[in-house]
Amino acid sequence: MSEIVTVIGGGLAGSEAAWQMAERGLTVNLFEMRPKVKTGAHETADLGELVCSNSLGSDLPDRASGVLKAELRQLGSMLIACADQTAVPAGGALAVDRHRFAQLITERIQAHPRIKLIRQEMTAIPSGPAIIASGPLTSEPLSEAIAELSGEDHLYFFDAISPIITEESINMEIAFRGSRYGKGDQPEGDYINCPMNREQYQQFIENLVHAERIKLHTFEDAIQSGVKAGPHLFFEGCLPVEIMAERGPDSLAYGPMRPVGLAGPRTEQRGHAVVQLRQDNVAGTLYNMVGFQTNLKFPEQKRVFQSIPGLERAEFVRYGQMHRNTFISAPKLLCPTMQFRHREDLFFAGQITGVESYVGNVATGLLAGWNMSHLLTHRDLLVLPPTTILGSLCHYVTQASLSDFQPMKANFGLLPQLTTKGNRRSGGKMRKRERAQAYAERALADLEAYLGEIA
């Protein structure tokens, strides 16, 4: 196997793909344009840097995100191992110290004898075997090259980042520690919570929806600049908090600010709404505002968010911001193996394929890496069972209708229905939690059986 594989992009998908191929004996050139070329969202030159939340989603065994992580552990994911090693308290979620996480990935990639990390922008698609994992912030020259290869413009949507504040600036005379329903690793709770009564919440919503925002390119601006907008301007899974607030006065109280499962130590009654802060580093000195991705101007963020009880003196180390995410028409261009339909030695992976969430990016990178290895060693490519989370996710992004194609996270709704009829207690129908557990057990069992078949 003397042929060198080129991986474009040192994010989550590219790093995982490079590692998986190198572990299988391939020589890999991993191209990352940072720090020579900046993205506007990344802050460091480290590989696998998380630019939005520091949470990789639920790690519970009966949640789709948790099952996907279990599948990746079963498949030997290097990045999930790094996440487990750099985890910080986050209740039932897997959250990481984002800086240590990226540093650890970078250290492992640089130390691998079969991976060469090249700090250079790729402006064209290589002629030899390659995996494009350039991510949603793909540079303009490479975007143009992909558009020329695919014969069509890109789709895109706007994604947002939540603010991060210092722990010492939080007023703990008002805020309190706790996790929903008492779940979590720490006795006092894994989150810091800022409660609001009805009047405080209503005033906050009023401030939020009337605050000044940073102007985004309109659809008309995008079309004039040669960029094709997707069917939705914002990804529903990561809406700016001010956009959510515009959908109705109680939309946040039933969304990221829902108070269920939380009662403050000073009262047995829960508040009307609550703002949760999640630990962002191992030292516990930084916290991010959960679900508070935003496009407000920086001075407005300070004004509006400091009106939250407990955050009157909040010190912001990073304000929220928005960036445009690019993704290709995967249903038209890709096979469920992540292989480009019109060129067998070219694969795509990560968020550019339309897979959403950190773990989805890692997963498609892993699959692309495995399949490139199989291709170059003349073995059958892997098409994972649709009953697995990864298999169903890859099937969706490569088979969905283009008319309403939008980035997709792992979820049980993508899986084939269960054949069991359930139990007697629920009148022949499985309860929601029982159904989720059954999906999870089937996914992991089917993956184990599939891996046994191809071993």
Task: Give dist(CA 57, CA 409) in Å, integer.
Answer: 10
Question: Range with the lowest mean pLDDT among 60-69, 88-97, 258-267, 391-400?
Answer: 258-267
Return d(Cα 73, Cα 31) in angstroms, integer: 26
- All structural domains of the chain, each given as residue ranges with its CATH number in brackets, are 4-154+328-414 (3.50.50.60), 161-323 (2.40.30.260)
Phi-psi region of 354 (alpha: psi -120 to 50; beta: other; left: phi over 0): left
Q: What is the arithmetic mean of pLDDT over 435-443? A: 93
Would you say 400 and 331 are in contact if contact means Cβ atoms under 8 Å apart? Answer: yes
Q: What is the pLDDT of residues 101-112, one digit of tens each?
A: 999 999 999 999
Predicted pLDDT of residue 157: 63
Task: Count the neighbouring beta carbons within 10 Å of the beta carbon of residue 383.
Answer: 15
Angle in degrees, CA 349, 414, 384, rounded to 5: 50
* Cα–Cα dist 36/139, whole Å: 12
124: phi then psi, degrees, rounded to nearest 5: -140, 160
Instruction: Give the chain as a 3 state SS string.
Output: CCCEEEEECCCHHHHHHHHHHHHCCCEEEEECCCCCCCCCCCCCCCCCCCCCCCEEEECCCCCHHHHHHHHHHHHCCHHHHHHHHCEECCCCEEEECHHHHHHHHHHHHHHCCCEEEECCCCCCCCCCCEEECCCCCCCHHHHHHHHHHHCCCCEEEEEEECCEEEHHHCCCCCCEEECHHHCCCCCCCCEEEEEECHHHHHHHHHHHHCCCECCCCCHHHHHHCCCCCCCCCECHHHCCHHHHHHCCCCCCCCCCCCCCCCCCCCCCCCCCEEEEEEECCCCCCEEEECCCCCCECHHHHHHHHCCCCCCCCCCEEECCEEEEEEECCHHHHECCCCEECCCCCEEECCHHHCECCHHHHHHHHHHHHHHHHHHHCCCCCCCCCCCCHHHHHHHHHHHCCHHHCCCECCCHHHCCCCCCCCCHHHCCCCCHHHHHHHHHHHHHHHHHHHHHHHC
Which pLDDT tens digit goes with each residue over 130-152? 999 987 777 788 888 888 888 76
pLDDT averaged over the chain? 85
pLDDT in tens, 236-282: 556 788 988 998 888 898 888 988 877 766 655 568 899 999 998 77
Other Cβ atoms less than 10 A from the Cβ of 154: the count is 22
| Cβ neighbours of 24 (radius 10 Å) | 16
> Taking the CA of residue 215 as centre, how many other CA atoms within 13 Å lie in the half-sphere pointing to its CB?
5
Tell me the Cα Rg of the chain: 22
Q: What percent of the chain has pLDDT over 90?
A: 50
pTM over 0.85: no
For the stretch 346-372, pLDDT in tens is: 999 998 898 888 999 999 999 999 999
Question: What is the strand order of the sheet 346-348 is part of?
Answer: 115-118, 27-31, 4-8, 130-132, 346-348
Per-residue pLDDT tens digits for 153-209: 655 666 677 888 989 899 999 999 888 777 766 767 889 999 999 999 999 999 999
**Tokens representing residue 342 in the block:** 């019109």
Residues 6 or more apart whose CB falls under 8 angstroms from that of 340 comprise: 333, 334, 346, 347, 348
Bridge-based pairing of strands 321-327 and 93-96 is unpaired
Taking only the tens place, the pLDDT of each residue in 34-86 is 887 776 566 778 899 988 788 999 999 999 999 999 999 999 999 999 999 99
Is residue 227 predicted with pLDDT exceeding 50? no
